[in-house]
Amino acid sequence: MNKAVFLDRDGTINKEVSYLNSIDQIAIPQNSIKALQLLQKDGFKLIVTTNQSGIARGFLTEQTLHNIHKYFDILFSSHNIKIDDYFYCPHLPEENCLCRKPKTKMIEEALKKYNIDKSRSFFIGDKMVDVECGYNAGIKTILVLTGYGQSFKKEAQKKVSFIAEDLYAAASWIMSKPSQSL
């Protein structure tokens, strides 16, 4: 079975942008690049799970979202990083769908598709919905203090395995766990 790191997108691997709808808004911190390289080198599948209600709100189309993810792939590939997949929820919160974080449909689909061992996997994000999604799926969770993370620090403490300054600190913490090595 594979191990994976499930990653929130905005505020976690990319700087927080409210309703990112253009490649011009992409800003990946250098520490995110280093973190993804570290995780990938250790054999983790890198899977982005992101709520994208901006689609339902009319801020972007699904094609624009796919183009943004293709651009992420181009940027990451220049650093020898491959995102294994992107899962997204295009719905509004009030639609009460099964895919919107903190619900676990995106995680469940990825677990099946990539034959992932939850016990060796992690979910990293900057919001409570990320922490709760990983927690609800039975995956160890890490809150990063980038993006909106600072505002959820106290609330998240009961449901996280670790609180990290940024994605690189989260990746370093994961690497410090001997049982995570292949």
Q: What is the pLDDT of residue 177?
A: 83
* Percentage of the chain modeled with pLDDT above 90: 96
Residue 8 annotated to the active site? yes
Average pLDDT over residues 61-65: 98
Q: Which of 8, 126, 130, 166 is catalytic?
A: 8
Q: What is the pLDDT of residue 179?
A: 58
Confidence of residue 141 (pLDDT cuts 50, 70, 90): very high
Pick the CATH number of 30-117+127-176 from 3.90.79.10, 3.40.50.150, 3.40.50.720, 3.40.50.1000: 3.40.50.1000
What does the DSSP assignment read for the chain? -BEEEEE-TBTTTB---TT--SGGG----HHHHHHHHHHHHTTEEEEEEEE-TTTTTTSS-HHHHHHHHHHHHHHHHTTT----EEEEE-S-GGG--SSSTTS-HHHHHHHHHHTB-GGG-EEEESSHHHHHHHHHHT-EEEEESTTTHHHHHHHHTTT-SEEESSHHHHHHHHHT-GGG--
Q: What is the pLDDT of residue 182?
A: 37
Residue 84 annotated to the active site? no
Q: Which of 10, 126, 130, 166 is catalytic?
A: 10
- Report domain extents, the chain: 30-117+127-176
